[in-house]
Amino acid sequence: MIEKVPSWIERLLLPKLSEISGEIKALNARIDSLEKRMEALEKRMDSSEKSLRGEMLSRFESLEKEIESLRNEMIVSFDAVNAKIDSLEKRVSVKEEIAEIKIRLAELEKKVFGQK
């Protein structure tokens, strides 16, 4: 009777064990497939990240150049404005001197013509 029990168990369980074994193999294959897909995604993400980083650095460099160019243009413009202001200040100074000369001339004319 003891010898018959293992064969009975074997006949009952062997198909189930084979079925479970097949399912485990199928799960392992799916897991392997998912791992490969994840690795591929990681590589694509790394590649995309590097590409994006390169593009961002390029754009920042371009912006820095544009800002530097605008800065230089503004410096030139400010220099031109400063030169115009200096020129105007000189003109105002000359006009003030001419006004003083006119006043003195008028005073001299009064003295010269007023004494006669």
Distance (Å, rounded) from C-alpha 33 to C-alpha 27?
Answer: 10
pLDDT value at residue 83: 92
Distance (Å, rounded) from C-alpha 23 to C-alpha 26?
Answer: 5
Per-residue burial over 34-72, b if 16 or more Cβ lie within 10 Å, else e, is eeeeeeeeeeeeeeeeeeeeeeeeeeeeeeeeeeeeeee
Q: How many CB atoms lie within 10 A of CB 76?
A: 10
pLDDT value at residue 4: 62
Token pair listed for 9: 């168990």
Number of H helices, E strands in the chain: 1, 0
SS3 content of the chain, % helix, strand, coil (to 5): 95, 0, 5
Q: How much is the pTM?
A: 0.49
pLDDT value at residue 3: 60
Q: Which residues of the chain have pLDDT under 70?
A: 1-6, 8, 115-116
Which amino acid is located at 11 in the chain? R
